[in-house]
Structure 1
C-alpha cells in the first residue's frame, strides 16, 4: 500500500475535522467551567462553541481537500470541467 501524503483519505478527513470540532468544544466547556457565568451567558458561550465547531470542521475539511486536489476554483455551470 502506497503512503502518498497527497491522497485524500476519508477516514483521515473525518478524524481531523472531528478533532478540530472537539478542540473548539473543549475550549467552550473550559470557559464555562472556569468562569462559571450565569445561565444566559453560559448558553451564549455554548452556542458560539457549537458554531465554532462547525466552522472548524468546514475549515479543516476544505483545507485538506484543497491540499489533496489543488485549488482550481469552482467550475462554471454547464462546463465539462
Structure 2
C-alpha cells in the first residue's frame, strides 16, 4: 500500500490467516515491488522484499515496525 505519492514509501503489513507462504509482485510508477513470505512456527516469518530504487518501506509484523530500503533484503522474524 503506498504511503506517499508515486509509491516512494510503501507499507507492507501481511495478514496470512492460515496461509503458510505467499508471494506477490506489484507494479508501481518507480518499478516492481516484490514480496515473498513464509511462516515460521506459530508467530515467526521469513520475508524477502525487493523495492525499486528510491522506494523506502515499513514492514509490520506482530505489531512491530521494521524499516525497509531500496533493493533486496531479508527479514527473519521469530517470537
What's the TM-score once normalised by structure 1's chain length?
0.23
Higher relative contact order (CA 8 A, sep 6+): 1
Larger radius of gyration: 1
More helix as a share of residues: 1
Q: TM-score, normalised by structure 2?
A: 0.23
* Higher strand fraction (1 or 2): 2
